[in-house]
Amino acid sequence: MMIRNPRQLDLNRRAFCGLATFGLAGFLFPLSGISGVASADPLERFFSEVRTLHATFRQTVLTDDLKPIDESDGELWLSRPGRFRWNYGNPLEQVVMADGEHLWVYDPGLEQAVVRDQDDALGDTPAGLLAGDTDLNRSYLVERLGHQAGIYWVSLFPKDANAAFSQIQFGFESDTLRLVQMLDPLEQITRIRFAGVKVNTEFAAELFRLSLPQGTDVIREDNR
């Protein structure tokens, strides 16, 4: 996406769109603290059984020595296949939405929206992974790490050497997705904590239609 203004945040950080090995001390936790593989795999259940998800979240970006450099809060709606909406409300209001055909990034403060072709914009990214019907073993090396402090961890390593992220970890509390952590090629870490998670509830279709105020500057990068 073309950066039109310093306030327009990179999709690498917003809604997982951009996102190395275990060299960073086991990513974010010591491997010695991991034990016990789950008898029934929460990751497989998440991708096979969860069709919709609604949650609030806190997103934190950390340096390679785990110092926070950015933090934001918001609300997520996910509907498989191919639709999601991330509403960022603090400190910078922004909406990142996929409607099944297009990816929208709307910044009310700039009175600006950027629209791109969804397949081109997402590709094989964490956002596409969460919203899609993905064969994990085809695109990723999957490593089940076991439990730490009540959270069951799974790491995914993309097989594509040109992927925008080096590793993504899912943390489950029982069957509920609680954390997602990503490591990018610059060894910055994006951590997202979910709260109030509800799955397989019905969403109104209007939720994935972006209603823009009159006068909003729409920048089209979708080959139209």
Q: In the chain, where are the structural domains located?
A: 14-203
CB 98 within 8 A of CB 82: yes
14-203 under CATH 2.50.20.10, yes or no: yes
Q: What is the pTM of this model?
A: 0.81
Residue-by-residue pLDDT tens, the chain, 224 positions: 222 333 333 443 454 443 322 333 344 544 444 555 544 689 989 998 999 999 999 999 988 788 888 899 999 999 998 999 999 987 679 999 999 999 999 999 999 999 999 988 887 677 778 888 777 888 899 999 999 989 999 999 988 888 778 899 999 998 899 999 998 877 789 999 999 999 999 999 899 999 999 999 999 987 76
In the chain, DSSP assigns E strands to: 52-62, 68-79, 83-90, 94-99, 102-107, 112-117, 140-148, 151-158, 167-173, 176-183, 189-199, 217-221
CA–CA gap between residue 97 and residue 88 (Å, rounded): 11
